[in-house]
Structure 1
Amino acid sequence: MEDDKYARMDPDELRNLGEYDTVAFRTASAAGSSGLVGMILGAITATWQDVPAVERNVALPALKKTGKIMGNYGLTFAAIGGLFAFTDAVAASIRGKKDIWNSALGGAAAGSVIGLRAGKLPVGIGAAAALAACAVIVDAGGQTVRTPTGREYLPYPRINPDL
């Protein structure tokens, strides 16, 4: 039966994501989700900043300013998330193992984006060190903020109930 096949499989085989574990997919999904979070944060920031007043029922100046802030935040976050995922995935493929050093390299690369955005070398070095340390702490903690429940969540169901 199907149950027996999955019961005999190694947990690493069960977690094999196949085509979803490529460098391109990981980079694109990280950049996309990070960019979306950045745009939401940009929209929140735009509500707290002074935007041009709406005059004579013309909202275009305020809308342009809000869109610009959202775009800047979105692009920055997309670059940070995408560069982290790209560096992490490339380091794992070059080194042949997935460990905390890949995340440390990814965090350092992502921190460099903040330094480039600020235009200051000390900011870049500090951000690279901080993001590398955060990535190592998350990896060392098992990449989760919850306590283990004993249940394993797979990206797809083991048995399709519709069959």
Structure 2
Amino acid sequence: MEGSSLRGPVDDGLILKTGKGAGIGLAAGSVWGLLVSMLHDGPKVGSNVKYPELVRTGKVCGGYAGTLAILGATYVGVEQSLERVRGKKDIINGAVAGFAAGATMGFREFKIVNFPGIP
């Protein structure tokens, strides 16, 4: 039992690279959300919310950050998984990963538009 690995077939590099993709997407989405929220008009100041502009900016940043984190994690995870399974690093891996990331975004938008109450 001395030389065996109890972790299974999951590669640490796959998890690390997927986490990096999600982290970079989170950071880029936060910056992009901040820029978008600064360019649009703020909310009407008639509510009982203290600092309504800050709350709106946080919601916009969170939305963009979550979206880009999911995109980054999906793309990198699928691409690295295919590279490991196929044993090749070619354009097919990137194309399939792009399709998977786009399908994830399409599913998110479909769920938001058609089923707004579902988290």
Normalising by structure 1, what TM-score? 0.55
Structure 1 runs (4+) greater than 6 angstroms displaced: none
Task: Give the 3 Å change call, closer, same or farther, for CA 60–45 of structure 1 in structure 2.
Answer: same
Alignment of 1:67-86 (within 5 A): 67-86=58-77
User: For 2:53, which of 52, 62, 75 is the aligned residue?
Assistant: 62
Conservation of the 8 A alpha-carbon contact between 1:40 and 1:70:
yes
Higher relative contact order (CA 8 A, sep 6+): 2
Residue in structure 2 matched with residue 42 of structure 1 by the alignment: 33
Conservation of the 8 A alpha-carbon contact between 1:53 and 1:62:
no
How far is 1:59 from its partner? 5.2
1:30 counterpart = 2:29: no
Deviations 1:1-57, CA, capped at 9 Å, x for gaps: xxxxxxxxxxxxxxxxxxxx81101100011001111111111111122322457xx
How far is 1:113 from its partner? 2.3
Q: What amino acid is the match of 1:119? A: F
Q: In structure 1, the residue corresponding to 2:101 is in which secondary structure?
A: helix
Q: What amino acid is the match of 1:85? A: V
In structure 2, runs of 5+ residues without a counterpart are 1-11, 112-119
In structure 1, runs of 5+ residues without a counterpart are 1-20, 121-163
Deviations 1:65-107, CA, capped at 9 Å, x for gaps: 1100000000000000110000000001111111111111111
Q: What amino acid is the match of 1:33? A: I
Residue in structure 1 matched with residue 105 of structure 2 by the alignment: 114
- Number of residues paired by the alignment? 98
Q: Write the distance in 1 (CA, Å) between the matches of 2:56 and 2:107.
A: 23
Q: Write the distance in 2 (CA, Å) between the matches of 1:68 and 1:97.
A: 41
Q: What amino acid is the match of 2:86? A: R
Q: Aligned Cα RMSD in Å? A: 1.9
Q: What amino acid is the match of 1:69? A: V
Q: In structure 2, the residue corresponding to 1:37 is in which secondary structure?
A: helix
Larger Rg: 1
Q: Write the distance in 2 (CA, Å) between the matches of 1:102 and 1:50.
A: 41
